[in-house]
Amino acid sequence: MRIRNLFKLFLAAAAIVAAFAAVPVQALDIEGIKLEEKIQIKGGPTLVLNGAGVRHKLAFLKVYVGSLYLQEKKSDSAAVFADNGAKRVTMHILANEVSAQDLVASVNNALAVNLSPHELALVEKRIRDLNNMMGSIKTLGRGGAVQLDYVPDVGTRITVNGEEKLTIPGADFFSALLHIWLGEKPVDGRLRDAMLGKSR
């Protein structure tokens, strides 16, 4: 009798676990952009959404939704920089039109104020490769997306509107790019906090 009761309790517990497992993970919606809580990157592991928010220009113009995916959630910039694992940063365009020139200028300015001259010199050629690729795109419209995937031993894979454009080697290159959003002088302080999961 006692064994039968324990078996019934086991079955009940298993049913509860199965019910929770069957509930789909809800996507986060920011300005109409749906961000999955978990993603699988090509040639890499499953990543979880660390945080996401809106990049503002001149305090009121909404440029894009920026999101950060990591293998494990982190709320501190230093911990993200110290993490050698796979990562993804995506920019989902909100503005009607964003020129590649504006994006390139934003990247270059953020790198200049967040990296030392020596650090900048080490990635300068690879930044130039990124700038040249972005320059070939001309403009991005609302609904467009720029995706930066870092995979160890592969490099930073850059995808624009679903099309793979370029892979740039070196963990230091992706780390340099992260300073744009997570450095001491990020392009948008509110976005940095949101990508670190501190606010949405």
**Which residue is associated with the tokens 């744009």?**
180
What mean pLDDT comes out for the span 8-36? 60
13 part of a folded domain: no
109 part of a folded domain: yes
Structure confidence at residue 12 (pLDDT): 46
Confidence of residue 155 (pLDDT cuts 50, 70, 90): very high
Q: Which domain holds residue 166?
A: 26-195
Say if CB 181 and CB 66 are below 8 A apart: yes
Confidence of residue 200 (pLDDT cuts 50, 70, 90): low
1 part of a folded domain: no
